Chain A
């Protein structure tokens, strides 16, 4: 399991070899610096006694001990400096490489991997999480290693001074550690209790904003019941969490103090009973003061590692996501502009197929309309053609070739699509259309803009073609964004066009543009449309009706299907009725 691999080794996966080597050497340097620091602390006792008694301790006088200490200090400084320098350099390198790795990975993940939350998650990874894990690599882990080594060496050193002190330290360390862990658990408990209530409250506040119109119309102000309840609940949980937090601090604080007391009592009683010299006792007490801080610092850092591990788990999850298998035999090309589904079965969640055994075939320049109730997998069909996902059984074929045998470039050279959620870059309107074919002439641009209804948008906007579309295309309405997307498809002139029609008719003007554009598109391309509007459906020369189970219920031409008087005829008649509706 990757969880069990050391944290540093997992971090090194994202470093260049040179940085990884630096990180390795840096960590070793830190560890050695820690050992020398621990030894330096150990010299306190013999040095102090040698100073006081002016007699040699363990064969060395005070001056000699100072020389030993100086040597240890020099070694520790040099190594620590090395560790710091190497660690930081490797850490900065890690940050740079992590951003690069994630970028490359994003470009090679299958489209189906992306969900609504992906953008937020990935941008967090390359910013906050990059920073926090970078800090961990740069110094946090190294310093932890150093302090841990110092602590252990110091702890062992106490045995050499006085076996009683050594025994006490050796017992105290695990006890203190457990107490600190207990305190930590209390604090975690505090968060576990608080977090869901906090999230619920945040959701309620967002809902309060989103439904503000309805709430205000219904005289429900900030005190409206659900929100007020959420506030009360979150506050209750917060207070409870707080007491857990206080308890946690109390437990760990007391643990630390108990260790100090015990060592002070030991020191003074050893002295009073004459077992230890007075100076030894003073040093023992001094050591207690210092040692407890060291142990709690190291523990806090160790507990902090858990958080880093979780961050890394999240990063690894992205980096380990399977990429689309690339074709075994490169250089396969579609034979023509036909599209067919060959017994296609697909499910998002194993065991719950969305499509079952779907078959159809569209000849070059043909137009297929896919209709059916919402949630029956219509959009999934065209997503499979564009290879957002791979089929579970059967195959989608483009020009007679399984889409899995085509490279991404080759597939998208032949296929373009117009989806409902149209994304525009925060670039000029012109560039957003031209992106389909950057070398298109102005005439061609004007022509597709006229056809798709982009010209009207250009006229409306103060800066025309040079208007920036805003993040995600916010400056434009949903209908307008779709027009831009249609203009792109028109400009690209791909042999196959996939079209996911919006189910609601936002405005008549848009509809007219869309219909005009499809008429043009189908003259030169094969069109597969998830269709809702009667006009679009009627344009198709073949219609596939899917049912709620995800199988093909009926297929044929419009007239044939009406003749059959089945699901399609029922659907059609209902739509006619609805289209004729009058409000007044």
Chain B
């Protein structure tokens, strides 16, 4: 139990640290807003002062001490009005500044995230769902920005205003002031005792809620399986259990507080405060120690004090809720980026790729173990092997999706780590299973690697990628915005990404053969497009169907992160691994004899 609460305490502390880090971005604005808040809070007592002066003037006149001076009355009223207007102005200024700070923070967070996203290893995206990024830029940013921008100002206001009013009360009549705050100690003792351990308790509640959320997600996402296998009972129980755990712990936390808080609230309720202040005031009045206007002013102040203090408690609470969101944001912004060379080298111009003793691991998975492979200019190298053997990892390392944990990859005699990203990607392009199209016009999508390309050049690439006819058949042609003007099928998207690669015209190409089979409705077209892309380049292809790559210059058979065999189709026929893969693939070399009958399995 102590461990858990320690964990929650740590979580609470981490949240505070993260909030502090984020808040640093708007420090200046926050200080300025706080300055106006101080001015506004300092004026809080003026209306009450005016009230007392006015009352005393009136009463003095009534009692015939002094004749009523209309000018004096209007002066006091003016003072009252001016104080009000100034206070409102300062308050609005401070509020406006915080709003701007709040907006700035929102954009700073997003820009920082974007900046970091543009530098983290591409492999990171494969491991991190886009849901996490959406949550960060939408929900988490929303959760923290108001709290971080507004809390310091609201907090200051919440503390300073009651203090100013209190000070005013004491200066005006310390006896009345004591009456005014007489009930507060009871309130604080009762309320404060329930506030104990608030941070860790909140963290515990957050964890319980996260559990409820996770089990609900599982119940809903797996609903088909659950029903099909008659497991609704079990999954429902997991959820129900999490919900019960939350409700129980929340109840345990809240139930003892309900009575205490309810009693505490009565000590600062309007009727009680009226009774105490009017009654106490009357006694002092009887002893000649307080005037009536003073009593009324103090009573009114006593009525507003608790509210101001309560708002401080609310701010503390929302601050804690924002903690975990802030931690997630800071984590995202601190994702380690790929190092960029300070003094980039230029490759020697020959598109020759040398992979030297490359190992790679992420988390606890060792994906590659000491791979050596050379891709000669203008040749096609195919990577084959069972899923999980490291084909994709190796291929994407050539496009520097991440850096090898050990060993090196060289392009044109230069380590990839010493190339500037610009030079690297002018030399290496890739066509993988995800077509990666933007919500922008088709022309823009295709010309992404060469923004200056003319429409004719774009169309040439599209023609080579077998997609020009389709694009021209759209009402807006190349200006059609993907996702807005047209929805693309998998095959159409794939062909646009091939057109993009054709236009990029990089000498080294990393590709996934599965793209050829992305869409059964248009496989033939995609295949033709890929044929147009491969010619003359240094190609590294992740192959799934041996049949498609039997003509490759070299075939690397991968097994558990190593190259188990390397050669051409002919030289590899003796290799057991290779033959096993051939048999499994259902495309035995003898199949060509049967092709005439349209028979595709052994």
Contacts and interface: CB of A to CB of B under 8 A. Distances in A.
A250 interface: yes
B247 interface: yes
Contact of A99 (B61, B247, B262): B247
Contacts of A472: 221
A66 B134 CA distance: 61
A535 B530 CA distance: 25
Interface in B197-252: 209-210, 212-214, 216-225, 227-232, 235-236, 239-240, 243-244, 246-247, 250-251
Interface in A84-99: 84-85, 88-89, 92, 95-96, 99
Nearest to A113: B223
A249 B122 contact: no
A106 interface: yes
12 contacts: A47-B278, A73-B275, A77-B269, A103-B243, A213-B125, A216-B118, A216-B425, A503-B490, A504-B520, A509-B585, A511-B586, A581-B548
Nearest to B237: A103
A480 B47 CA distance: 74
Contacts of B322: none
Nearest to A507: B544
Interface residues of A, number: 158
Interface stretch (B14-22, B103-111, B173-181): B103-111
Interface in B398-447: 399, 401, 421-422, 425-426, 428-430, 432, 434, 436-440, 444
A209 B117 contact: yes
Contacts of B300: 286, 289-290
Interface centre among A102, A218, A239, A471 (most CB of B within 10 A): A218
Nearest to B506: A217
A505 B263 CA distance: 69
Contacts of B107: 231, 234-235, 238
Contact of B130 (A73, A77, A210): A210
Interface centre among A206, A238, A510 (most CB of B within 10 A): A206
A253 B261 contact: no
Contacts of B80: 264
A568 interface: no
Nearest to B132: A209
A211 B111 contact: no
Given A77-B271, A210-B436, A272-B68, A579 B258 contact: no
Interface string A66-78: 1001101100110
A92 B386 contact: no
B601 interface: yes
Interface stretch (A275-283, A298-306, A396-404): A275-283
A51 B285 contact: yes
Contacts of A207: 438-439
Contacts of B84: 257, 260-261
Interface stretch (B5-13, B90-98, B342-350, B468-476): B90-98
Contacts of B309: none
Contacts of A205: 110, 113-114, 117, 133, 137
Contact of A80 (B115, B266, B531): B266
Nearest to B243: A99
B380 A227 contact: no
Given A213-B122, A578-B527, A436 B229 contact: yes
A477 B387 contact: yes
B489 A374 contact: yes
Contacts of A214: 436-438, 448, 497, 500
B297 interface: yes
B220 A118 contact: yes
Contacts of A118: 220
Contacts of A231: 107, 110-111
A423 B225 contact: yes
A532 interface: yes
B189 interface: no
A423 B235 CA distance: 13
Interface centre among A201, A507, A512, A534 (most CB of B within 10 A): A507
Nearest to A573: B598
Interface in B467-526: 489-490, 497, 500, 504, 513-514, 516-521, 523-524
A41 B270 contact: yes
Nearest to A485: B225
Given A209-B133, A425-B218, A285 B51 contact: yes
Contacts of A408: 227
Contacts of A100: 240, 243
Q: Top 9 nearest A-B pairs by Cβ distance? A: A278-B58, A508-B585, A73-B271, A84-B262, A214-B436, A40-B271, A282-B55, A578-B523, A96-B247
A161 interface: no
A185 interface: no
Contact of A532 (B117, B225, B387, B520): B520
A409 interface: yes
Interface stretch (B353-361, B457-465, B549-557): B549-557
B316 interface: no
Given A580-B547, A583-B516, 13 more contacts: A102-B216, A104-B236, A123-B216, A126-B212, A205-B117, A238-B107, A249-B95, A261-B84, A286-B297, A505-B514, A535-B586, A582-B548, A583-B552
Contacts of A332: none
A462 to B, nearest CB: 7
B119 to A, nearest CB: 9
B59 interface: yes
A583 B600 contact: no
Given A118-B220, A205-B114, A503 B519 contact: yes
Contacts of B61: 278
Interface string A491-523: 010000000000111111111100100000000
Contact of A127 (B209, B220, B261): B209
| Interface footprint category on B | 35 or more
Contacts of A417: 224, 228
A210 B131 CA distance: 10
Contact of B514 (A111, A293, A506): A506
A282 B300 CA distance: 12
A412 interface: yes
B282 interface: yes
A29 to B, nearest CB: 11
A271 B73 CA distance: 10
Contacts of B546: 508
B145 to A, nearest CB: 11
A106 B220 contact: yes
Contact of B527 (A104, A107, A289, A581): A581
A220 B246 CA distance: 46
A281 B58 contact: yes
A154 B493 CA distance: 68
A159 interface: no
A44 interface: yes
Contacts of B520: 374, 503-504, 532, 575
Contacts of B250: 92, 95
A544 B423 CA distance: 53
A69 B548 contact: no
Contacts of B437: 211, 214
Nearest to A131: B209
Contacts of A48: 278, 292, 295-296
Contact of A505 (B209, B258, B386, B545): B545
A119 B216 contact: yes
A510 B518 CA distance: 16
Contacts of A254: 88
Contact of A509 (B386, B553, B595): B386
Given A84-B261, A118-B220, A576-B598, A213 B436 contact: yes
A107 to B, nearest CB: 5
Contacts of A460: 388
Interface string A541-584: 00000000000000000000000000000001111111111111
Nearest to B220: A119
Interface in B538-576: 541, 543-553
A565 to B, nearest CB: 14
